[in-house]
Amino acid sequence: MKALAGPALAVTLALGYVALRGGTKDDAPPREFTDLELSLPGEQGSCYSLSTAFIANGIYGKTPRTWEKADHGAWRLTVERVTQAFNGPTREFNTWTFEKHGNAVELVEVEASEGMPQTPAASLDDLLDAPNSIHSTPVARCLEPGATGYLFKRK
């Protein structure tokens, strides 16, 4: 009987690990939310979806990020980075709060480390620099001739 105790324990631990990993999932907004056009409250849309802006900025890569559900269907994303400075490593963070309004996701609140954009407008300008620079694919509305968007640069 003792000969079976080791393998039985290993199987039990493996099944427990699989059950834990399969049963838990990080909070994240649905794709229907991240595929909406990114904008500021009361402003014209940016022509880029929230997911496109994040992909262009490398936020969906290995960057540590945490989504949490906020009030009234809003979502809050915190992104953390460790950068090497003259005094050693330093931690930088951005926390953005997004709310759905019609066919857009609006950046309504920003918290960030010192030296990072502190307002929604400055932060959105920073987020849109990468998709504009690499000419990412815009949302369907902006594929039409003459369509415009907040800081949108047509190819």
The predicted pLDDT at position 54 comes to 94
The predicted pLDDT at position 2 comes to 63
Q: What is the pLDDT of residues 18-37, one digit of tens each?
A: 555 554 555 899 999 999 99
Query: For residue 135, is it left (φ>0), alpha (ψ between -120 and 50) or beta?
Result: left
The predicted pLDDT at position 60 comes to 80
Residue ranges of the chain whose pLDDT lies below 50: 23
Domain extents in the chain? 27-143
The predicted pLDDT at position 63 comes to 79
The predicted pLDDT at position 150 comes to 84
The predicted pLDDT at position 27 comes to 85
Tally of CB atoms within 10 A around 122: 13
Tally of CB atoms within 10 A around 30: 8
The predicted pLDDT at position 6 comes to 62
- 141 and 46 Cβ atoms separated by less than 8 Å: no
